[in-house]
Every structure is written in structure tokens, then in C-alpha cells.
Structure 1
Amino acid sequence: MLRWILGGREANSSVEKSPVLCIGEEQPKNWFTELQVLRGHFDIVRFLVQIDDFRCASAGDDGLILVWNIETGERLQELRGHSRQITAITTLNCNDGLMSHTFLITASSDRSVSLWDPDTGNRVQTVSDLQSSVKCLLVLERLCVWLSGGEELCVWNKDFQLQCHRQNHSDTGISALIELPKNCIAAAMDKEIIIYRLTFSTDSSMSLSEVYCLTDHQDQIRALINVVDGVFASGSHAGELILWDAVDWNILAYEHILWEESQPCAQAEIRLKAPRHSEMSIQHLTTNGKLILAAVGSGLYVYSLLTRTVVAYRKVAHDSNVLHTMLLSDSELMSCSEDGSVRMWEIQDLPLPDEHASAGFFGMWTFSRTNKQTGPPTKKVIEVPNIRTLELTGDLIGHSGAVQMFLSFRENGLVTCSADHLLILWKNGERQSHLRSLALFKKLEENGGL
């Protein structure tokens, strides 16, 4: 495999790189053998959002929003208007009955929110002089409204007219929003999840009311996602993962991800010395409806919703904290890290002879608040005979700074963004070679041969 190194990559953690995680030049399961560097940003690129099958938008600390063609790597539009860093970005689909059009909504620390047309690059709507910076955005297509969260929660219609709002009482503000059934919204605020209900009056006006407060986390909530219909999940800085009933807001499961006391271990990747607090933090959660993938410190954990067991995990998957994850299939996944790496993994039926799943990670499932673990966790190791391993199948070397996130366009490629101000478009080398050959033959036919 051709490996491209654009700059030196230094580990941001005291954890030494394990030889178990090293992968050689031969990576038969890594199809990303061709890359294209996309330049245009001049500060950290933090966000990627997919517009359609062939376009994405990137945004970050330079306040720019760039629209890219992922087939060619061409920069299609440069959206300028924000004076400070972008803090959130999402898409808004508008359907007039005949055709659908996708817009972009962006929020910035300049206390403004804007609506953009990615086809023309024009700013269609903008709201400025907000009370505070917006940290997260949520579009409710079914209700034809969108929400912005920060120090206050605001509900807007598609014409950017404020419908209703509520002031929050948390110093940290709202960090994440998800949609729940029955016109409800879950908002993560520091250690709490506030449930709001959106009500429509007979005169078409809207009101937002706080109906419940979930206070079971002991530390700041870092991740909040919908899992399947009727279930959502949250993860905290202290390694707590809670599954919730999305209708009744009861706890379906409470687990605390633990590190066992130091013990002799044959696997070079395992570091069982006393971890730092950040090593337990859940930075990211993702799901495909069958599995939940959790980024915990520098490690990865895979949980099956069907069997309600851990199916695979690796405590040290990267040299530094994992920032973003993705499930490619039921057996393949990807992760990126502060150390600048992007890695591909496969769940394999290989035993872990010396490492066992902790009792603290998805080990016991409870179905009521009263059963929640309240005291200090017990450092007990439970043997899980059916546990499988995450084997490294690909290591994408290209970024020289922390990789913030990535987007998959399936056979069309993968896009990554980084603190090095770059985007990289990763392609299937064999497929690209085949496409170039077809294009060449077509051109020869049009020109009547050589």
C-alpha cells in the first residue's frame, strides 16, 4: 500500500505505542490506497456534513464553510459571513412538493446563525445578536422547525422566525440535542438531561415546556444519541453510559466503564496502571441499531443490543483519545484520534486469553433507577467466554494533527478533517484505477482510437 505522510505525527499521550497495534505496509483489507489533499481552510477543521451523494461541507475555527465535490476534490463554494469560529453545522431539507433542496445551517461564536444555499453559495437568512453562542443545532423535519441550543433553547421555523425559547440555568449551556417521541426533545446540560415538550396551540403558536430532568450522571455528559425507536443513550466524562427509555425516560441500563487494578498481562497493548481521569471519558457514541460503539479514552468498546453483551473491545486503540467513530458494518468499524491517526478495525473470532471484560462495562443490565450503582465500583473481573477481539486492518497515515471526524461516502470514498487545517479524501485505489481506464477507453472511442 502507498502510504503518504504529510507531516510528523506526535503522540499526545503518555501511553506508549504498542507493537501489537503496528501494521505493516501490506494491508490487504485496507482499500484506501489513494488519497487527495483538500486545501482551503487556514485553521482547525472541526465539522463535516454530507449534503448529498457527491458533496460535503466543512467548517471550523476560521469561520469558513467550504463545499466540496468528493468525486473530484473540487472546491465548489466558499461561504463567507461569520467573523468567528463555527460552533455547529447541520443540513435543512426543504420540499415544495415537486422537488427537494438541501440548505446548510451554521452557528458561530460571533453569536449568529445563518442559512446557506450550497448550490449558489448565497446566505439566504441570518439571525445575529443572539444572547449567547449556539453550541448545537437540531432539525425536526416532521414539525418543520429547527432548534438551537446554548445558554438558551430556541425554536425557529424554516423562515428563521423565532417561535419560542427557554432560558437555561446551567453555566455550561446545552451541549447536545436529540429528538424524542411525542414532540419531546432531550437536551444535555452539564451532568443533566432536560426533557422538553413542544406544544402547538390552536392559533398555530408554539410553546416549549420543561417536563422532566434526568440527574443520574455524576459527571459532564459528552455524548447523546438515539439508538433505536424508543431508546436513547448518553455517555459522560467519568465513563458512565446510560440507556434510557425515550417515552417514559426511565433508565434501561446503567454501566460504569472501569479499569481493573494493575495485574500482569501478556498483551503488550494493555496498560493496567492507574489511569488518568480522561482515559475513562466517553468522547463519542455511534450506533447502527444493532451495535453501540463507544470511544472511551484511547479505547473502543462494541456492545450488541441483541445479546446485551460486549462483543469486542480494545482498551488501547490509539495513542491518544479517540474523537470520532463509525460502524461500517456489523463486523467493521473506524476510529480517529487526537494522535492524528485514522484506523480500520474488524471484529474477529479470536480469543483474548489474558484480558477479560470488566464488570463495569455493560457487564450487568438493570431495569430501574433503584438498581443503579451508587457506591465506589468494585474492581472485579468477570470472564466473558464469547468475547471477540478488535483487530487492526488499516492505518490511514496522512494528517499531522488531531483528526476531528470523518464522513463515509461508501464506494465513493472517505473524507477526514483535522487540526492541521486539511481535509483528506481517501479513495479505493483499485476502483479509481478502473474508473480512469474506463474514461480513457471512452475517450479513445470518441476520438476514433489512438
Structure 2
Amino acid sequence: MLRWLIGGGREPQGLAEKSVQTIGEEQTQNPYTELLVLKGHHDIVRFLVPIDDYRFASAGDDGIVCLWNAQTGEKLFELHAHTQKITALASFPLSDTCEEKCHLILTAGADRTVIVWDCDNGRQVHKVSCFHSTVKCLTVLQRLDVWLSGGSDLCVWNRKLDLLCKTSHLIDADISAMIELPKNCVAAAVGKELIILRLKASRDGTEWDVIEVKRLLDHEDNIVSLVSVSDLTFATGSHVGELIVWDALDWTMHAYERRWDASLHVDPQQEIKLSHSQNEVSIQHLASDEECVFAAVGKGIYVYNLQMKRVIAFQKTAHDSTVLHITKVPNRQIISCSEDGSVRIWELREKQQLTAEPVPSGFFSMWGFGRTSKQASHTAKKPPESTTVFSLDLIGDLIGHSLAVQMFLYFSEHGLATCSADHLVILWKDGERESRLRSLLLFHKLEQSEDLQLRI
């Protein structure tokens, strides 16, 4: 049974799956050999957010928010207040300037309310219901000790849910995602547009204003993913595969790609050819560790090294269905999850030394800097050079969910938490570590028992 759960029991469902890398039952490099199934939701679980080093919250379409202990799997609190599905979830970390020393989370619902919860006692702290539309995203600006709600407009709030300022209706579309930028700025995705907004506060902090600075109109379809790469760079990805890397200070374009139908010879023996289907090129999620950008593109995953300015590894068909979430974890490992219900662990390995081949312009030219040449069919000549090629090798396949895995959280000490359309949250545990902890606990109990006998 356990082997099936970590990848031994899935059978191919069609010819397309033959190109998906598989792994046998003996997953010797996969640490997650134990799991805990956490039940508390009655509908799709879409969001997970960390509270601290050992707690996290989950929320989804049933309107319920559950707080969990990531170490034991214990459900700490079950929070009920929203009458419709949860549309956004965010954690408000502790602040040195705030008198209230408690961990807070923010929840937004389709019932047009936002609620602030105290994670230490599970109580509702504040609630606001003055929104004209559903809040689609929540962003905490910890340095300013404020948070933002995005929907038909952008609102700026403090911890007590005092409205500090707001924008007017931006355009017909709503704000779907936001990230913090330097100089008190925020990038907001509004349909195809990327709007740069700046927050201004008076010296005493009593008066606030939010000003539209610039509109970036380079995307031709709705922006799906936003990620901060570093203090100087961020990236956006759209539904039809447009990926743009931006300067975070002056908002100019570092890299651009509008077509995903060209090819790149990373290895002379191998060629990537992407489908014209929107589902095959949609950039569902972007992640970064400042050294690399990780892109979930259709069913595939791609790794771009910022210093080398090129894609260093890829899996064109990493999953059987669309990849929904991707991130980098320690030991050069990458985790991805998909609509096919699987969670996969990849290791980035140095492959060999090769002489660089001529690279066609287009497609992965976005990973370099500057706009793609109009003559996409021409080959960009590069002098031969020694280059390191990397591979993404599958080392773990976690099969426990029966439906689409929406996202996951990685805890360095307590394993991996995943949430799914099957209403479940699963904690995947490092089997060796858990075995050691149980042994230590047993020895501790034996020592206590011996001490008790000696005293008697």
C-alpha cells in the first residue's frame, strides 16, 4: 500500500503518457515514505499558507479555514465565518512595532468579506464587509506593517482593518495578483495589464495615498503568475505563454518572449518542440530562488539560471496534466504538482561539458536579456564555448491524492504539506527522520520510567 502511495501503482492512461518520466517502486532517494491524511474540509482545498515554523493554514471552496500542526498533523482550530468559498489567504507575520504579539492570518471570501484571525486562539479579530466586489488577492507589506486587498480596486489597510486609502476602479477587469516592489511600490496584474502603484504615507503615518505610476501593456493575454526574483528583478507569465522579466526599479523589460513554437538545442541529440495548444504553453506558476527562475509551462517545468542567462534544465512533459505549482527546496531539488493528482520531486544534476551549439532566436531567447529579434527563423551565431548542461531527474513520485493537487508547502523540519480537489490535506514525512524521533521519544519514556522506579 505504501509503495503505491509513493508512486508504484499508477498505470499509463494513454499514449501521451509514454513521454512522461517514470520511477520504479524503490524510490531510494525519495525521503517521503510516510504520510498523514488530514481531514477537515468538505470541498476543494485551494490555499495553504505558513504561520510559523510548525503551523500552517488551509482554505478552499467550503469557506472553512483550518489551522494545523505540521509536526503532528493535529488540527488546532477550525474557523467558520465565511458564507461562501475562500478566494485569498495570507499570513500576517509578527511585527516588532506592533503591540499585539500574535500571529494573524487574513482570509477573503466570495461573500465580499475579509476577516483577520488570531492563530494563537482561533478567534476572529476583525471583519470588514464594505467591498464592492470579491477580493481576489491579499498581499502583506511587512516593512510598512500594512496589507493590501485586490479586486475591482486596491485598498490599503492596517492590522486593525482601518482603511488607509484606496484606488478607484482601475479597468473592467479585477486585480488578480500582486507583489511588492522596492521604493514602496506594488505591481498589480489586471487582466493583460501590469500596473505599478506607489504607496505614500505622511511622516506621522496618519495619511496615506496610493498613486498609479505606470501601466505596462506588453502582455497580449491575461497575466497568470507574478514572482519576485530579487530586489532588482521580477517576472510575469501569461495564459498564452508570454513570459517577461522586468527591472524592479524602473520597470523596463529585461527579457520577452511571445512565441513558444520555436526550438532550442540544449543537447545536439535532443530537441524541444512545444505544442501550439494554449494548455501546453500557459505559464501557471513561476518561482525563484534568486539564482534561478522555475517556470511551470503547460505540462513541463523549466529552469533558467540568471547568471548564465540561459535555460539549464527542462522536462517538457514533467506530468500527465498541467503543472499547477513549482518551487525549489534544498539539495538542488525541485518539487512540482499537477492536475493529474501527483506531486513529483526532481533533482537538478550536472550532466556533462559540451560545446555550445548555435541557438535559434525565439522561445528561450526570453531567458536572455532584450526583446526577441523579429526574424525568429534566423540563427543567432555564438562562438563555441564550454558549457555545463544540467538534467532534471525524477527521484520521487508521491501519489496520494485522487484529484488535482492545487499547491504545497515545504517545511525544512516537518516535511511537505499538499492540498487537493479531493478535499484532503496530506502531510508527507521523511521516514528516516520520523523513525529517529520515535526512537528518541521511546528512550525518553524509558528513562522517565527508570527514574520513577528508582524513586519508588
TM-score normalised by the chain length of structure 1: 0.90
Identical-pair percentage: 50
Question: What secondary structure, in the 3-state scheme, does the structure 2 residue paired with 1:89 have?
Answer: strand
Equivalent residue number for residue 436 of structure 1: 438
Q: Following the alignment from structure 1 to structure 2, what is the Cα–Cα distance between the partners of residues 96 and 388?
A: 43
Post-superposition offset of 1:380: 6.6
Question: Larger relative contact order (C-alpha < 8 A, sep ≥ 6)?
Answer: 1
SS at match of 1:17: helix
Equivalent pair of 1:149/1:174 in contact (CA under 8 Å): yes
SS at match of 2:279: helix
What is the CA RMSD across the aligned residues, in angstroms? 3.2
Shift of 1:2: 3.1
Deviates more, 1:13-22 or 1:305-314: 13-22
- Do the aligned residues in 2 keep the contact of 1:63 with 1:84 (CA within 8 Å)? yes
TM-score, normalised via structure 2 length = 0.89
Does 2:317 align with 1:312? no
Shift of 1:120: 1.1
Partner of residue 372, structure 1: 371
Structure 1 residues 15 and 276, CA, compared in 2 at 3 Å: closer, same or farther?
farther
1:374: Cα distance to partner?
A: 7.8
Cα 1:273–1:158 change in 2 (3 A) is closer
CA distance in 2, matches of 1:316, 1:274: 11
Aligned to 1:51: 51
2:213 counterpart of 1:214: no
C-alpha deviation, 1:339, in angstroms: 0.4
- CA deviations 1:232-277 (Å, max 9, x no partner) are 11111121211111111111121346234899x9999x88474311
Shift of 1:40: 0.7
**Aligned residue pairs: how many?**
443
User: Once the 2 structures are TM-superposed, how far is the Cα of residue 20 of structure 1 from its aligned partner?
Assistant: 5.5
1:49 CA drift (Å):
0.5
Deviation at 1:349? 2.6
5 Å matches for 1:351-430?
A: 359-363=361-365, 372-373=371-372, 377-378=376-377, 386-430=388-432
Cα separation, partners in 2 of 1:18 and 1:246, compared to 1, 3 Å? same
Structure 2 counterpart of 1:150: 151
1:225 to 227, 233, 238: 227
Instruction: Give the corresponding residue for 1:192.
Output: 193
> 1:9, CA displacement in angstroms?
7.4
1:181 counterpart residue number: 182
CA distance in 1, matches of 2:359, 2:37: 40
CA distance in 2, matches of 1:29, 1:212: 48
- What residue is the counterpart of 1:27 in the other structure? 27
Distance 1:42 1:376 in 2: 53
Tell whether the 8 Å contact from 2:20 to 2:317 is kept in structure 1 after alignment. no
The equivalent residue for 2:293 is: 292
When structure 1 is superposed on structure 2, of 271-280 and 201-210 the one drifting more is 271-280
Task: Tell me how far apart the structure 2 counterparts of residues 377 and 281 of structure 1 sit (CA, whole Å).
Answer: 21
Classify the secondary structure of the residue corresponding to 2:314.
strand
CA distance in 1, matches of 2:238, 2:394: 26
What is the CA–CA distance in structure 2 between the aligned matches of 1:50 and 1:282, rounded to whole Å? 24
1:197-276 to structure 2, matched below 5 A, reads 197-201=198-202, 204-256=206-258, 258-260=260-262, 272=273, 274-276=275-277
- Provide Cα deviations, 1:388-427, integer angstroms capped at 9, x if missing partner: 2211111001000100000011131110000000011000
CA distance in 1, matches of 2:203, 2:411: 43
| Displacement after TM superposition at 1:57 (Å) | 0.4
Q: Distance in 1 between matches of 2:318 and 2:230?
A: 27
Alpha-carbon distance between aligned partners in 2 of 1:192 and 1:4, rounded to the nearest angstrom: 45
CA deviations on 1:197-245 (whole Å, 9 max, x unpaired) are 1122367311111110011111111111111112111111121211111
Question: 1:95 maps to what in 2?
Answer: 95
Name the CA distance, whole Å, in 2 between partners of 1:245 and 1:72. 42
Offset from partner CA, 1:411-449 (integer Å, 9 cap, x none)? 311100000000110001111111111111211221129
Please list every run of 5 or more consecutive structure 1 residues that lacks an aligned counterpart in the other structure: none
Specify the SS of the correspondent of 2:125: strand
Q: Is the 8 A contact 2:102 2:120 kept in 1?
A: no
